[in-house]
Every structure is written in C-alpha cells, then in structure tokens.
Amino acid sequence: MAEIEVIDSSGLLTEEELNEFIRHAGHLEHPREMIIDILRTVQKNHGWVPDSGIELTARILGLTPLEVEEIATFYDKIFRHPVGRHVIHICDSICCWSRGGEELAAHLQQRLQIEFGQTTADGLFTLLPSCCLGGCGKAPGVMIGQTFYGELTPDKVDRLLAELSQEAQE
Amino acid sequence: MRDTPQLLFKNRRPGETVFMAGYRASGGYEALEKAFRQMSPAELRELVKASALRGRGGAGFPTGVKWTFFPADKPGPKYLVCNCDEMEPGTYKDGELLMADPHQLVEGMIVSAYALQTDVGYIFIRYAYEKQAENLRRAIAEARDAGYIGKDILGSGFDFELHVHGSAGRYILGEETALLNGLEGQRPNPRLKPPFPAVKGLFGRPTTVNNVETIANIPHIINGGAVWFKDLALTADGSGTKLFGLSGHLNRTECFELPVGIPLREVVETYGQGVWQGRKFKACLPGGASTPYLTPEHLDVALDFSTLEAVGSRFGTAGVTVFDDRTCMVAATLNLIRFFARESCGWCTPCRDGLSMVRWLLETIEGGRGRPEHLAMLKEQFHNISGTSFCALAEGAMGPLSGLLTHFEQEIVDHIEKGGCPFRS
Ligand SMILES: Cc1cc2nc3c(=O)[nH]c(=O)nc-3n(C[C@H](O)[C@H](O)[C@H](O)COP(=O)(O)O)c2cc1C
Ligand code: SF4
Ligand code: FES
C-alpha cells in the first residue's frame, strides 16, 4: 500500500480521483473490474490514454502494464493515440446507411479535409467510423464526445461543426 | 392505432425522464413492496415462469425457465447482471426505456435479485449511453434513500447492492459470457459453455444475465399477474408487450410498445406510417441486424418468436429496419457483414476468416467484379460458418446472408451478369 501512496498521476487523474480509485480498489475483492473506469477517467481528463495512463492504471490496480494494455486496445472508444479536441464518431451501420450515412460521411471528410482516422490541422476534430450508436430511429447520426446528434443532413452537420469551432475559440 | 396497455412506456413523455416522485405516482415500487412483504422468492420464480415471459435480449429464452437453472439456495455470493450493451444495429429500445423511466429497471433488478437470492447486481451499459447511465445512477441513489437498496430491505433480512458498469464500445460485450469477462476486467472473448453462467459466472460464482426489457417487465408481472401478462399478446404462443424500434425507410422511425404477435403490416403501415417517399416495401430485418430478411409475402405474419422461426427468420430484439424498393440487397447485406466482420473478437476461425471472406465476396460482387463462381463460394461460406463458430456472433451474421441467398439470389446473379450494381445508375 505504501508504494501506491507515492503514485504520481501527473495530471491524468485529479488528486481526488486518484484517492477515490485507490480507496475503491482497496474495498473490492476483484479490483480489476475498475480497469475501464480508470481508463475512461484518464481519457476524459487528457483526451486520450498515453503510456503513462496505462502504467498509472496498472499501479492503482496492482497489475502489469501489459495486462492493462491488452484490455485498453480491445475497445474502440479508448484512444491510445492523440486525438483532436472533439472526436466525431459517425455511425456506418445499417439504419444510418439506409438514410444517407455514406453521403454524410463523404461530406464530413470533404468538409474537414481529412480521411477517417485523421485529425484536422487545427487539432479540433478527429473523424472515426463507428458501429451503431443506439440512435437508429434518428438516423443518420454521429456521436461527438458522448453526445448523440441525429437526423443529420450535410447542412445540419455544417452548423454543428461551426458551433463547436466557435466554442473552441471562446 | 391500437389501444395497447402501456407498461414499459407508461411514463414516457418526449424529452423527459421520470424519477422517483413521478414513478411512485404511476404505481412504482408497489410490486417491490408486494414481493418483499407477501411473496417468497420461490413464489416469485414460479410467477415469472407462469407468465411465459421470454428474454428480450434477442435469443428469446423463457426467463422463468432460465431462472429455474439458477441455484438460488446455494450459499455464498451470487450475481444478477443486466445486459444493456445494446449494440446490435437497429436495436435501440433499451436506451429509450432508460431515457424515459429508469426506475423500472432498478425496481426490476431489486425484485429479481430477491427472487434469485443474489446479493449483488450490475447493470452493464454501453459507452454511447452515458445519459442513460446517469439516469440509472440517480435512480439507484433514490432507491437507496427509500430503503430499497442496501441492508435488510423492508425488514426482510435480504441485502442487495446495485452497481452501474460502463463499457467502452465493441458489440461482442453483448454476448453474455464476453460481458462477464469484460465486467471482470478481462479481455472480453466469449467463454466456453458449459459451465453456464448459472453455475460459474461472474468471478466464478452463479450468475444470471438478463436483458433490460426482460427485467423491466418483472414488476408489471407481479402487479398484473401471470395470466394477464400472457394475454397481452395477440398470439397464443406469445406473452406480454414488446418494444419495437422502427428504423430504415419508414415515414416514422420511433420506438413503440405493442403487443407481441402484432402483424408486420400493421407495424409498417400504421406505426411506421408507410414506406417513405411513396415507395414500396421490399424487405425488412424484423429483429435487428442478425435476423434473416422478411419480404412482402411476409407482411401478414404475426411478429412473435415461433411464427417468425416458422418462416425462416427470428423475432430477435424487434428492431424493425425497413428497406424500400430502390435498395440493393447485396449492398445492404454487405453493410451488415462489414459490421459483423469488424466486430468479430477474432477468437475463432469461421468468424474471423469466414466473415472476412464473405465481406470480400460481397464487395467484389457489388463492385462489379463478380464472377459466376462467387455465388457458389458465398453459399459455401454460409455453409462453413453456420453452426461452427465459438459464439453466436458469426451465427448472427449468417442471418442476413441467409435472407439474401433465400430471397434475393437473383439480385446476386444480376450483379454478376451486368458487371455492376443494377441499383446504381
Ligand atoms: C454478439 C452478441 C451480442 C449480444 N448483445 C446483446 C445485448 O446487447 N443485449 C442483450 O440483452 N443481449 C444480447 N445478446 C444476448 C445475450 O448473450 C443473452 O442471451 C441475453 O442478454 C440474455 O438475456 P434475456 O434472456 O433476458 O434475453 C447478445 C448475444 C450475442 C451473441
Ligand atoms: S464467433 Fe466471432 S465473436 Fe464469437 S468467439 Fe468466434 S471470433 Fe469471437
Ligand atoms: S444504425 Fe446508426 S445509430 Fe444505429
């Protein structure tokens, strides 16, 4: 335990979050179940999960970095590389496909001047394809951060991008 | 429009979520009070069995029967896990339920846990449902304040804790044993069965995994009784109401609570308000991305588990995705196969390599480079993958492929003969 107390979370977790995770891990019979929780919190604070985030998670839970890494890399909503300020997940599954999802994806790539997996030069947007987002009745849709936007058209998506760019400048 | 009693969507109002006060005003937690004060766990399990409720997570296994496999009397930790992964394209009903009325699931979890004598419950929820997860956390806190969660609930001597566990994407987590691995913080590949989770589940202990809608139905069954619940369905084989999530080429794509056994035509014409842009109905997925297509000849079939099986499809999750007459069914199937191939966990060869092969074949045919032998190769892959995969993901992927081969083989032939997609001008 003494070792854990000297963990440096170097901005990946707040002091409070770190202490809460350590306390919680101490109460659980199987602390491993917290892996995704910690990784998601690191990502919320830092935008993505750097190597130091994997190591930090491993130390809190008493695991090896490799054990954390093999979990982190399984999930497509955990980023192991830097991403833009806003990650746009565009749904490419069947309901969105049936209502103009491909056209919307092409429009987004053209508007942002990037391909899937890339980040805009100003670091504002990363574009990623995603499977169904659970908004199938409001197709086509995207998720930005953890907010779903549905019934999109190229015009509506342009307005959304403009709002987010505007926000970033304020 | 039908006069279907609204159980699960009773409190649904556009853009609103009902919490404790509103839930109580609608009769919420009366079932829990009744269960804890008047019924034994064994009586509750009998009631659920008599209601003929079938699992709403896709496979449709009778819930009461599943519960009889559970060693409720075995001492030591046991778990109730609620599956809210809901990542199958076309399926969004559980998300709608949790946006409208999260206490239903919380009440259902508590009484189900009591029936099964499990001391800890987890609600496993997908990454994209952050708002729903917040709703659940608030509802759980309210239930705890009311004395429904914690130690010695209503003086019954029964203790129960309930946690929300957030995921981070990947469809395979919906498969119940992969979900258990994921929840434990292990790599979420499915587990070999047997042993089934009822014997050896979460952390090696007896575990029941049930869908959100399944569990949300339990309080209603306690309130209304098994016979009442069973008779809500329109067909003798069915039971209860069902949340139908409409999507695709319909004028109205919303989620409705309708009786099990409602004819497809009524769902399409009355609730979906017909096919969009004045076009014709060509096909639909009746129950999510893993179900074989229905065609116009099926418009009068009753939507329930056994009727749909009899016509070569599946009720699944009742996510009805409709395609109009301008849809290329090769392209639609390609989209679906791409989803399954990308979401494969890679554990077993029929799925990892077989789905990639199917995807390649459909890409080649749709792209105008198809040759006559490719149709035979598709059939061969269908045959190779069916029944051979480690879990039901690859089996599910064979749903739309089987629909394509059964109902739209001519479209494949047309692509090959024309050297391109006849639907793209
Ligand atoms: C690939 C795959 C994904 C699944 N996804 C879900 C899901 O998101 N939600 C769900 O309840 N069941 C899902 N299932 C079915 C579950 O494995 C399990 O049968 C179900 O949760 C049992 O609950 P029920 O009996 O209440 O339906 C999935 C199955 C497979 C093979
Ligand atoms: S069928 Fe697919 S998802 Fe299931 S175990 Fe095999 S590779 Fe993994
Ligand atoms: S298919 Fe796009 S949100 Fe479900």
Q: Which residues contact B418 (CB under 8 A, 6 or more apart)?
A: B368
The mean pLDDT value for A139-168 works out to 96
Rounded distance between C-alpha atoms, residue B176 and residue B182, angstroms: 10
The verdict on ipTM greater than 0.90 is: yes
Pairing of strands A142-144, A86-91: antiparallel
The answer to whether the CB of B222 is under 6 A from ligand 2 is no
Asked if residue A1 has pLDDT above 80, the reply is no
pTM score, whole prediction: 0.97
**With an 8 Å Cβ cutoff, are B167 and A75 in contact?**
yes
Find the B56 Cα to ligand 1 centroid distance in Å: 8
* Mean pLDDT on B113-121: 98
pLDDT score of A9: 78
Q: Do B185 and A30 touch (CB under 8 A)?
A: yes
Verify whether ligand 1 is closer than 6 Å to residue B58 (CB atom).
Answer: yes
Q: What is the pLDDT of residues A12-25, one digit of tens each?
A: 999 999 999 999 99
Kindly give the distance from the C-alpha atom of residue A132 to the centroid of ligand 2, in angstroms, as a whole number: 19
Looking at every residue in chain B, the average pLDDT score rounds to 98
Residue from B70, B83, B181, B290 to probe ligand 1 pocket by mutation (most atoms less than 8 Å from CB): B83
Chain A, nearest residue to B185 by Cα: A33
What are B82's strand-pairing partners? Answer: B123, B210
The verdict on the CB of residue B392 being under 6 Å from ligand 1 is yes
Where residue B6 falls among pLDDT bands split at 50, 70, 90? very high
Residue A8 has pLDDT above 90, yes or no: no
Q: Does A6 have pLDDT greater than 80?
A: no
The number of the ligand nearest the C-alpha atom of B216 reads 1
| pLDDT tens per residue across span B180-222 | 999 999 999 999 999 999 999 999 999 999 999 999 999 999 9
- Per residue in B42-74, pLDDT tens? 999 999 999 999 999 999 999 999 999 999 999
Q: Among A32, A70, A93, whose Cβ lies nearest the Cβ of B89? A: A93
**Residue A121 CB: number of other CB atoms within 10 A?**
10
Ligand number, closest to the Cα atom of A99: 3
Whether A39 contacts A74, CB under 8 Å: no
Alpha helices in B194-285 (DSSP H): 212-224, 226-231, 264-266
Kindly report, residue by residue over B314-331, the tens digit of the pLDDT.
999 999 999 999 999 999
How is A96-147 classified by DSSP, letter by letter? HHHTTHHHHHHHHHHHHT--TT-B-TTS-EEEEEES--S-GGG-S-EEETTE
